[in-house]
Amino acid sequence: MSIITKKKTTETFLASLDSLPKNTQYCTKNTVSKFTVFIRDTQNLTPDQLCEELLIMKKQDEEEYINTLYTILQDFIDDMNTKISANSIKTNFAYLRTFLYYLGVRTNQQDVKMMLKFPKVAHEEKYPLKIEELRKIIDHFTRYPIIKACFQAQASSGMRIGEVLQVRKRDLVFKERIHIYIKASGSKNLRGRTVILSKETQETMKTYLDDLNDDDLVFYRGITENEKAREINEINALRNLRVCLDRLGLDMKYESGKYKISSHSLRAFFFTQAVRKHGENYAHRLTGHSGYLMQYDRMNDEEKMKMYIELEPDLSIYATTKADLEIERLKMMQTKENKDLKEELDELKHQLAQQGLDIVDKLKDEDKIL
């Protein structure tokens, strides 16, 4: 009895990524592409041919196989070190190990530790985005309401830029504040969650929302028929932000050359305000991080809305909006207090009435009244 096995190749590996999160697919494919070019330029081989030769070598001489494999990997690390950050190199290498494992070339963690040298990761203090800087960025896009709303949505909800750019009009749930459910398939860690947009963001969206069809993107005008087009949309959105920063004189950079303010800074702004108001677990949940307490999954929409209304003034970009929101919040508190007071009075009236009836019944039983 023969067993027919399907040959594993780079092509079949890339096809096997379809079930993974979009960001993981993109990063893995990007790493495979880099490695393919590197092997072609240095060995005049494809990754498939390289792995076939390595496996033949392994059968003939284990030591030579290990030395050759790790020499090639070190050369690839050194090559990446001239192009990307130290942190990105480690991430790329993790994706590369998965790729090589699929092709039959296993790498041992202890060998990686002992035989490979990675550049040290410099941990620079993250630059905190100031409210004045955020206001300048948002004002810069006043003539382009879709782009303006895109960055407002990030700062007021904690969404990733890739999540924002995938939102379509049909995804919007119109309540006191617009709600958006981010599907698990569209999130980085395969966790679905509901986010809420601020009143300021809604005001910007009102200027163009009626012109959109249900299938239209809300925060970007671009082609979205395929994954490549969505990648281009994200690249263009980030380019818009960098051009804005250059024009506003906010193009400060770390020693690594990266901008101190990025699309992640908008998300971090939301996270910081959420932590200060409601704690880390609440902030992690709304921004789509793992490791939060599951109690926030069990909150109903009313409870989520209440917590967001309490947070919203701290997310406001403009002082007038912040004042209006604070007045709105106080009115809601007063309304709730009045409602609670009315319920207490009604209950007290009911108890007094019941006590009166009990007294009457007792007097009747004692034949003191007819």
| % of the chain at pLDDT higher than 70 | 81
pLDDT digits (tens, 9 = 90+) for 212-271: 999 999 998 865 555 666 677 888 889 999 999 999 999 999 887 889 999 999 999 999
Spatial CB neighbours of 74, under 8 Å, sequence gap ≥ 6: 115, 116, 117
The reply to whether CATH 1.10.443.10 applies to domain 131-317 is yes
Strand order in the sheet with 172-173: 172-173, 179-182, 193-196
Please tell me the pTM assigned to this model.
0.71
Each residue of 161-187: b (16+ CB within 10 Å) or e? bbbbbbbbeebbeeeebbbbebeeebb
Both structure tokens of 303: 């409870």
**Chain-centre distance of CA 253, in angstroms?**
23
Domains of the chain, residue spans: 10-115, 131-317
Looking at 41-45, 188-192, 287-291, which range is the least confident one? 188-192
Q: Kindly report the average pLDDT of the chain as a whole number.
A: 85
Higher pLDDT, 175 or 358: 175
**Chain-centre distance of CA 108, in angstroms?**
32
- CA–CA separation, 117 vs 97, rounded Å? 15
pLDDT digits (tens, 9 = 90+) for 147-161: 999 999 999 999 999
